[in-house]
Amino acid sequence: MSKDDRCDPTYFDDSCGFMDRVRAQLRLTQGAEIARRYLAMNAFDGVLPVLGIIMGGFASLSFQDPEVIFETSILAIVATSFAMLISGITSSYLTEGAERKRDIEELERSLLGSLDGSMIVKATRTTTLVVSLINGFSPFGAGLITALPLMMVFAGFPIGIAFASSVIVAMLLLFILGLFLGNVSKSNMLAYGIKTLAAGILVVLMIWVFSNATGY
- Per-chain mean pLDDT for the chain: 82
Q: Would you say residue 159 has pLDDT above 50? A: yes
Q: Indicate the range of 23-27, 34-38, 94-98, 201-205 predicted with least confidence.
A: 23-27
- The reported pLDDT for the residue numbered 197 is 93
Please state the pTM of the whole predicted model: 0.80
The pLDDT of 110-139, averaged and rounded, is: 77
Q: Which residues contact 55 (CB under 8 A, 6 or more apart)?
A: 167, 203, 204, 207, 208
Q: Would you say residue 13 has pLDDT above 60? A: no
